[in-house]
A and B are shown apart, each in its own frame.
Chain A
Amino acid sequence: MDKAILADSVSGKDNRKKDEILSPSKLAWQTFKKQKLGIIGSLMVLFLIFIALFGDFISPYDPLQMHTKDSLQGPSAKYWLGTDRFGRDQLSRLINGTRISIIVSFGSMFLAAAAGVIIGLVSGYYGGRIDSIIMRLLDVVFAFPMLLLALIMVAILGPNLRNVLFAIAFTQHARFARIVRGSVLSVKEKEYIEGIRSVGAKNRIIISQFILPNVISPIIIQATWGLSIAIMYEAALSFLGMGTQPPMPSWGLMLNESRRFMEIAPWLTIFPGLSIVFAVLGFNLMGDALRDALDPRLAQR
């Protein structure tokens, strides 16, 4: 059986468009394209990834290098976005900071999604007592305000980038687990699963061929939103001094450092903040567009 058609029948989409039979991925791509905001968001994200990858070649100066003679200068031809109190070029630091944001966000989301998928699959598929126990444990994770949970973890484990990554992953994995579990449960109920089982299909096959394809879209959507959340929270933790430590050029940390000389050097506050907004906005827009494209219920809007 064609996986595309099967997956489509599960999501119940009407894929006829002027007598053309579209596979669900094609339909999703068409809807995605129509969303102009989504395009903008994706371009923003691609831009960020590009900078993260090739930042070293683009940045005019070494982000850590101090030009003490030129400290606290405003934006000029020499230093496009100005310098901080140590004379470090802000533009280079922002560029380098992009890499940190991307690494932390992608890393934490990857961990969270991986953990969430496994937990959700086990919980949803095997059901019963395992499911109840896991759901209770997830409820405990959900019972914490996110920042507080991340704070306590970083406070205990020590404030550095790696722990921020883990902390964010930990706070987000429960959401992935719940989504996956929901998806698994809804597919499990479908009658054709019973049919396939009665012909002797192994659990492994059922999971990989039927359940996983349906789980992928909500995961991607949640992961995209999660990326924006991760960037926001990494910045927040670094802002509080609980994340990246000096002299690393993470945006949140730069924002915190800017506060001391805020009044005489406002550019130090503005640009890191704008970068955060840019990144969060980009991932948000992309996530929204993906949801509109992949969620069958909203396809009619």
Chain B
Amino acid sequence: MVRYIFARLLTLIPIMLGVSMLIFGTFHLIPGDMVDIMMGDEVAGDPKAAQELRKSLNLDKPIYIQYGYWLKNALRGNLGKSFTSGKPVMEMILSRLPVNIELMIIAMVFIIFMGIPLGMLSAYKQFTFVDGLLRIVTIMGYAIPNFWLATLVVLVSSLYFQWLPVLKYIPFSEDPLRNILYLLIPGFVLATSTLSYIVRMTRSSVLDTLRQDYVRTARAKGMTEKIVLSVHVLRNSLIPVVTVLGFQIGVLIGGLVLTEHVFVLPGVGRLILLAIEQRDFMIVTGSILFLSTVFVSLNLIVDIIYAFLDPRIRY
């Protein structure tokens, strides 16, 4: 098991190198001279200032050296300084990160503690009304864009349920309870499409597992249905679901951007959007590098959980 974790960690290195290279590469694909963009119209044409700026950004050196500096800094946590505000990018990201973390946690709680049980229920009550209803709901739920759902929620609440705290945000430091409460709805909206998908995946996985020979063996040994389900079926059905969760985390991270946009939450997603609008590429590349690293790390955790569940792949 330890060997497996170690091996997976090793594969992370080339992947992260590739990711950073890709991001760095796109940074340099920006049409137009970066310095001109950064300087904007005011100081355009001032060669001395331009030269200084270039030097400070290492833009005068060959590309691989630039990459080296950038990577070295990134590994130390230095993602550069924002073009527009001058503040360190990492600081900006970290100050806005708590919102994202909370949203993700809320969404994952919904997905794991609502989605998986519903999926199991749906499977066990196959051919009944409950199953049919759940199937319809999840098929629809997967097709509803979460940014539309978010917009509708804002619309409906502003029209009919003004008391619902939808567009309000209270920082955790001020009032932790209300902070979480106000994030519940956006968190749920974020989770919707993944939730639907997980319910369906769990359902089909449980149905598959129920047909396996070893479940029949367990019954033939005289194990009660409760034991059969909780010991023999549960772990085995979770395995494909965990596989899928890894990718869904990526969908959720993307969804963060959309959800924050609609609910106007001060998270990293909005930071990226505003930065793109203002052509502040320092922030853009820094944030995307950060989020990708988070994504890859979360995937690693998911892989470890998967190895924990399924002993066959540990060796």
Contacts and interface: CB of A to CB of B under 8 A. Distances in A.
Contact of A240 (B15, B158, B253, B257): B257
User: B16, B140, B158, B288: which has the most chain A beta carbons within 10 Å?
Assistant: B288
Contacts of A115: none
A215 B209 CA distance: 28
B250 A146 contact: yes
Interface of A: 37, 136-137, 139-140, 143-148, 151-153, 155-158, 228, 232, 235-236, 239-242, 255, 258-259, 262-263, 266, 269-270, 272-273, 276-277, 280-281, 284-285
B155 interface: yes
B132 to A, nearest CB: 12
Secondary structure call for the A interface:
helix
B10 interface: no
Given A263-B158, A266-B159, A145 B139 contact: no
B272 A277 contact: no
B258 A285 contact: no
Interface in B139-157: 139-140, 142-145, 147-148, 151-152, 154-155
Contact of B295 (A136, A144, A255): A144
Interface of B: 11, 14-16, 18-19, 22-23, 26-27, 29-31, 139-140, 142-145, 147-148, 151-152, 154-155, 158-159, 249-251, 253-255, 257-258, 261-262, 272-273, 276-277, 284-285, 288, 291-292, 295-296, 299
A255 B147 CA distance: 9
A280 to B, nearest CB: 4
Given A152-B26, A263-B155, A255 B276 contact: no
A247 B251 CA distance: 29
Given A232-B145, A281-B140, A155 B276 contact: yes
Contacts of A240: 257-258, 261, 273
B280 to A, nearest CB: 10
B151 A280 contact: no
Nearest to B11: A139
A277 to B, nearest CB: 5
A156 B280 CA distance: 11
The 6 tightest CB contacts between A and B, nearest first, are A147-B254, A140-B18, A145-B250, A273-B148, A281-B143, A145-B253
7 contacts: A139-B18, A145-B254, A145-B295, A156-B30, A240-B258, A255-B151, A263-B158
Nearest to B254: A147
A95 B248 CA distance: 32
A147 B144 contact: no
Contacts of A145: 249-251, 253-254, 291-292, 295
B291 A284 contact: no
A263 B159 contact: yes
Contacts of B272: 148, 151
B12 to A, nearest CB: 9
Nearest to A229: B251
B292 A143 contact: yes
B297 to A, nearest CB: 10
Contact of A143 (B15, B27, B145, B257): B15
Contact of B147 (A146, A239, A263): A239
A270 B273 CA distance: 24
Contacts of A239: 147, 258, 261
A71 B292 CA distance: 44
B143 to A, nearest CB: 4
A282 B288 CA distance: 33
A263 B296 CA distance: 40
Contacts of B30: 156
Contacts of A137: 18
Contacts of A146: 250-251, 254
Contact of A140 (B15, B26, B143): B15
Contacts of A280: 142-143, 145
A251 B279 CA distance: 25
A136 B18 CA distance: 8
Contact of B142 (A136, A144, A236, A284): A284
B155 A266 contact: yes
Nearest to B295: A145
Nearest to A144: B292
User: B261, B276, B284: which has the most chain A beta carbons within 10 Å?
Assistant: B276
B145 A269 contact: no
Contacts of A158: 31
Contacts of A259: 151, 262
A137 B21 CA distance: 11
Given A152-B23, A284-B142, A147 B255 contact: yes
B253 A148 contact: yes
A239 B143 CA distance: 16
User: A153, A156, A241: which has the most chain B beta carbons within 10 Å?
Assistant: A156
